[in-house]
Amino acid sequence: MENNSLFKPGHTACAGCGQAIAARLVIDAAGSNTIVVNNTGCLEVFSSQYPESAWNVPWIHSLFENAAAVASGVEAALVYLGKKETTNVIAQAGDGGTADIGLQALSGMWERGADILSICYDNEAYENTGIQRSGLTPYGTNTTTTPPGTKSIGNPRPKKPMPEIANAHGIPYVATASVGFPQDLQRKVKKAISIKGPKYIQIHVPCPLGWRHETELTYQIARLAVETGLYPLIEYENGKLVAVRKIAQPKPVEEYLRPQGRFKHLLNNPEELKQIQEIAENNIQKYNLKTEVTNEKSQTQILPNPK
């Protein structure tokens, strides 16, 4: 059977890699008239080992911290050549290259109003360099730089609120997505590309290696993050919340935590489980996620236009 995807098989991602799934969904939704700038990280390593590449679109590797800066140069060149209206530009990075190392360049790109889609593949740690904590690592996580012990519960900090940081720049479109909901993910990519100006999509991508879960559970774990309320799927336009994916019956966070070795140390700690459950419940309340509707097609609720 012919493979028409713009992200080809044969790369060297780990079995069950959520980032590889997301990258394929993103580029196939964006289309062949797209130039991708990709910083250093897992995706760059497993998709572009010289002399081969999994990318069937123009693809540029940049340093860990400057995918947004290089993408800005690509966009400026396209504008000069009169080709920007027919060419999409994507700047993509992992959570470290987005929320930490690359935040300065990303902030500058957003502030300048560049017509570029920023993608964050959020696997919640620096998985490529040794599973170190990043600004998007969840509270309580066991990483190589936040190991649990008698003096530590694991990562002591909450996830950095990147969607809120993006919204603070006044950009026209901000969303979160998950590989557990592929149609929703691709819809958001297409919508973002249709909007002129800076756009940001943060995609939750389980990592079997760093999260220490069975490779066949990637899809299930991604969905559980959403179904517990720990990873809300939301959309903003011009700073206003316009859509959320509703949850008919929120599941207890322990269902999400239990299959993952990175949370094993929490399972016999009722106080810490309670604290993580509170994080989920606060998300459910903040975004009004709970509904009694069980039809999945009705779960993404478009909110009324704010007056």
pLDDT of residue 3: 74
pLDDT value at 114 more than 90: yes
Domains of the chain: 18-302 (3.40.50.970)
Q: How confident is the model at residue 298 (pLDDT cuts 50, 70, 90)?
A: very low
Q: Before 163, cis peptide (omega within 30)?
A: no
| Tens of pLDDT, residues 254-266 | 999 999 999 999 9
| Tens of pLDDT, residues 189-235 | 999 999 999 999 999 999 999 999 999 999 999 999 999 999 999 99
| Tens of pLDDT, residues 58-100 | 999 999 899 999 999 999 999 999 999 999 999 999 999 999 9
Report how far residue 175's alpha carbon sits from residue 172's, in angstroms, rounded to the nearest whole number. 10
pLDDT value at 306 more than 60: no
